[in-house]
Chain A
Amino acid sequence: MAGPALGISLAPFIRSSPTLSKIFTPVANWYAGGSLYRQYGLLYDDLLIEERPDVQKALSRLTPREAYDRAYRIKRASQADVLHAPLPKEQWTKPEEDVRYLLPHVLEVEKEEAERAKWDTLTVTRK
């Protein structure tokens, strides 16, 4: 999962090892619950730093429905922040609703850019 747009991450390494993931999954769940974004009705991918061309391109690839929902969640969270209080409990994001809707698009864009860089800097050798 590690990529320049998403920062350095140990997640793929931890996920590759059954023992490590058994240890870290409860910790990760506790951390996600404790970091309060769910109490403001946000999803984790709403927190990705979006002021970057690759994330902007990924955002442009959301379906109209996904883009609308994202804008709604961010506005609702901003309003809750203005009021200095989390949302009512029934509006909190449930852990199973917290899907990485933007991540696949970001990874796709990164892959495309890496491929472009590869073709741009290719050394051609004659057979």
Chain B
Amino acid sequence: MLASRVCARRFASRSFATVVETGGLKVAAIDSNQPTVSITFLAKAGPRYQPKPGVAHALKNFAYKSTEDRSALGTVRESELYGGVLSSTLSREHLALTAEFLRGDEEFFVDVLASVIASSKYTRHEFEELVLPTIESEVNALHADPATHALELAHALAFRSGLGASLFAAPHTPITAEDVAEFAKTAFSPANLAVLGTGISQSTLSSLVAAALERRTAEAVTPPTTTTSGYFGGESRLETHGTPQTIFIGFGAPGTPAPELAALAAYLDPNPAVKWSRGSSPMLQSPETSVQAVYLPYSDAALVGLLIQGPSVEGVRAASKAAVAALKGTAGVKAEELKAAVSKAKFRMASTADARAGVVEVLGSKVLSGSSETSLETSLSALDKVTASGFAKAATALVKSKSTFVALGDTQALPYADELGL
């Protein structure tokens, strides 16, 4: 009891500063006196919002190419002189352009990010010489990674359009640099942007962002739109060679993700808390088969499931049977198991928010959606309120819907959804 109160107080002191509107965009910062600073420009520019398939992926790879202020090479070399790292990350809903650097170089890196946002040129030759090869290699990497590939296919089945859009462009994508420029114009409009900083004070960040964007007046354009997510489900099988046999079994829930689902995913996770030890879960009978719980919350839907991977079809089949039993049996959870699951979910959420990328993940979407509460504490206390009856209700409702089933590998031998009783 005491421990949990101490915990809550510690997180309360780490909560985000209030979100401030600067020139139409939202700015939020948190300073925990770390030696490095990170600044992220977060835009609602994920594949969910893209007008054509693959444009969001192209825009992600077009970051830090030539702008009105400096060339692509200039951006890289100048950042290297400051010792900073520039990165762009794409999730289904958001595109994050992040700069990480030492304290004191804030002005330069805010200027780099602002110029990428406001004055990238999106030239045709850069698209063909620099962006397309990166897209191609990322698509190749996806095809060599059955876990990510299975989740891509699962999203397409579960949500169809919107959240179902792939994070990756097609291998020979027909999109052009003009398509990307057009999408960037709408996606990087101030109303669609949030700036998140760590290791920097709110007021400093606000004034730097305002100064950097003042010189580059962006015209107000309507941000890209999307439809509300619905959950559909289905089955997909893909023959692959040389990669582990992979099965994803999951269920989706439309609407704002309930804390019960986070607890459910933590409850389903069969992996023991101690590294290298063997779990006693029936899912982990075969020593070389791995099972991971997947919980992917979005602004208006969530996907919960189990990802099973292993070298042998038999091991994967046995683990899948146990996984289906586990998914169907969640309603009968014992009180102490639920308590453990809630603690696990809370720890995961808090430890994600501890890492830099986690700040963007956990709190960025809240800032962008205009939510006033941006502290971790509210999310954690929502998990505390999960009751056994609420959990059982959420679990029954979840498994009542049609399952999302993806099989990758030897499709002749891997089980079908109905063989597993889904």
Contacts and interface: CB of A to CB of B under 8 A. Distances in A.
B124 A119 contact: no
Interface in A83-127: 105, 108, 112, 115-116, 119, 122, 124
A112 B81 contact: no
Interface in A57-72: 60-61, 63
A116 B73 contact: yes
B124 A61 contact: yes
Interface string B329-358: 000000000000000000000000000000
A124 B77 CA distance: 12
A57 to B, nearest CB: 9
A115 B74 contact: yes
Nearest to A116: B73
B369 interface: no
B79 to A, nearest CB: 12
Interface string B304-326: 00000000000000000000000
Contacts of B128: 61
A119 B125 contact: no
Contacts of B77: 119, 122
**Closest 6 pairs between A and B when the two form their complex, measured CB to CB:** A61-B125, A119-B77, A115-B71, A115-B73, A116-B73, A124-B81
DSSP majority for the B interface? helix
B70 to A, nearest CB: 9
B73 A112 contact: yes
A126 to B, nearest CB: 11
B102 to A, nearest CB: 13
18 contacts: A60-B125, A61-B124, A61-B125, A61-B128, A63-B124, A105-B125, A108-B125, A112-B71, A112-B73, A115-B71, A115-B73, A115-B74, A116-B73, A119-B73, A119-B74, A119-B77, A122-B77, A124-B81
A115 B125 CA distance: 17
A112 B81 CA distance: 19
- Most chain B C-beta atoms within 10 Å of own C-beta, residue among A61, A63, A122, A124: A61
Contacts of B81: 124
Contacts of A112: 71, 73
Contacts of A108: 125
A63 B123 CA distance: 12
Contacts of A119: 73-74, 77
Interface in B30-56: none
A116 B128 CA distance: 20
B121 to A, nearest CB: 11
Contacts of A124: 81
Contacts of A105: 125
Nearest to B72: A112
Nearest to B81: A124
- Most chain A C-beta atoms within 10 Å of own C-beta, residue among B77, B81, B124, B125: B125
Nearest to A61: B125
A115 B128 CA distance: 20
A115 B74 CA distance: 8
Contacts of A115: 71, 73-74
Contacts of A122: 77
Contacts of A61: 124-125, 128
A28 B330 CA distance: 86
A105 B26 CA distance: 40
Contacts of A60: 125
Interface string B120-138: 0000110010000000000
Interface string B71-94: 101100100010000000000000
Interface string A33-72: 0000000000000000000000000001101000000000
Nearest to A124: B81
Given A60-B125, A122-B77, 5 more contacts: A61-B124, A61-B125, A112-B71, A112-B73, A115-B71
B50 to A, nearest CB: 25
A31 B421 CA distance: 85
